[in-house]
Amino acid sequence: MKEYAQIYILSIMLVFCTSCNGQNNTDLVKNNIKSEKKNLEASRGPNSITRTIKQDRNGNIWIASFEGIIRYDGKSFTNITSKISSCRFFSVLEDTRGNFWFASIGSGVYYYDGKSFQNFTTKEGLANNNVTCIFEDRTGNIWFGTGGGVSRYNGKSFRNFTTNDGLNYVNTIIEDRTGKIWFGTRDGACFYDGEKFTTFTINYNTPFENVRSIIEDKNGNIWLGGEDGLWRYDGSTYDHFTKKFVGYIYQDRSGNIWTSSVSANSQDWALSRYDNTSLSNKLLMLNPKGTEIKSDEKMIFGILEDYAGNIWFGTLDGVQRYDGNTFEEFND
């Protein structure tokens, strides 16, 4: 398992070392969507690595892929960034104002208001141009996890938290109901209470390794996934669900927990579901097991439940959708 994770980390490092031809300035890049629509639309989605999938307030699906940021309106796919950057994109966020932020590898962050783009890089104060995740806190600050720490943007300027704060190659950022900001990094997990950073450890003792995903569920439990498998922390006790490498964690509206992880029976990756019923049953929790819904992918990334209840997930060669019975691939 360690060798598999090392290969995974090496592949990510190679991505960070790959340059791109994005525009590193803050000039607004005008993009007339209407005139370019025919050239950008396609009947299928990306054919390459898809890292993040989100749905906006209007129901559109946004896909962060190595081919660009792609929007799906239910009928066709539009590559939003094809004219402004050839970078590999890792994440997408719709903020509370309805504007979008795109995280790229090598070219910082792109801000998109639906008409034009603005590019933020280290020249504007970003900690690092390799940006892997984006998060908006309850006060409206935008947080960017990068290969060299975390940047917090208040709409005017950046404040950076670096390796001195224990932040190196940040994979995920969340805010819990108490207002603490959690970070999953290559070196482990920690949280920030507004004044100081505190390392979060397994059973109050052993540091986590390479935390890829953190979520807070509807009951206030903190879930962590990464090199050490899948863990749940309720504020006093820890539950360990699998020792296999976990890449992503997601909770659907019914309370079920979905994960992307190495399969229990092979070196392929699996899309798994832990049903809410068993998670709430102390007797069943004595031997918790997830159901592998799909277990033949070489790697699985971000997971999303859309408004219709379908489960979307990213793979090495595009995006797939699961309606509860069948899988649909959207690549060529």
Query: Residues 88-102: what's their mean pLDDT?
Result: 98
Report pLDDT for 162.
87
Per DSSP, 122 falls in state G
Superfamily of domain 169-297: YVTN repeat-like/Quinoprotein amine dehydrogenase (2.130.10.10)
Report pLDDT for 265.
86
Sign of the C-alpha dihedral computed for residues 183, 256, 271 and 89 taken in this order: negative
Q: Is the pLDDT of residue 37 over 50?
A: no
Domain ranges across the chain: 169-297
List beta partners, residue 103.
91, 109
Which carries the bigger pLDDT value, residue 59 or residue 12? Answer: 59
Alpha-carbon Rg for the chain, nearest whole angstrom, is 19
Maximum Cα–Cα distance for the chain, whole Å? Answer: 60
Q: Is the pLDDT of residue 87 over 80?
A: yes
Query: Residues 174-199: what's their mean pLDDT?
Result: 96
Q: Is the pLDDT of residue 167 over 80?
A: yes
- Among 8-22, 24-38, 95-109, 217-231, the range scoring the smallest mean pLDDT is 24-38
Given a contact cutoff of 8 angstroms between Cβ atoms, the answer to whether 192 and 183 are in contact is yes
Given a contact cutoff of 8 angstroms between Cβ atoms, the answer to whether 321 and 307 are in contact is no
Terminal alpha carbon distance of the chain: 32
Give CA–CA dist 214/251, Å, rounded: 11
Report pLDDT for 289.
73
Q: How many CB atoms lie within 10 A of CB 222?
A: 21
Place of tokens 């660009």: 68
Q: What's the pLDDT band for 287 if we cut at 50, 70, 90?
A: low
Given a contact cutoff of 8 angstroms between Cβ atoms, the answer to whether 153 and 139 are in contact is no
Place of tokens 């964690």: 249
Instruction: Single out the residue of 101, 65, 72 nearest to residue 86, CA to CA.
Output: 65
Percentage above 70 pLDDT, the chain: 85
Query: Residues 152-156: what's their mean pLDDT?
Result: 97
Query: Residues 22-29: what's their mean pLDDT?
Result: 46
Give CA–CA dist 149/126, Å, rounded: 9
pTM: 0.88
> Helix or strand or coil: residue 257?
strand
Query: Residues 256-270: what's their mean pLDDT?
Result: 94
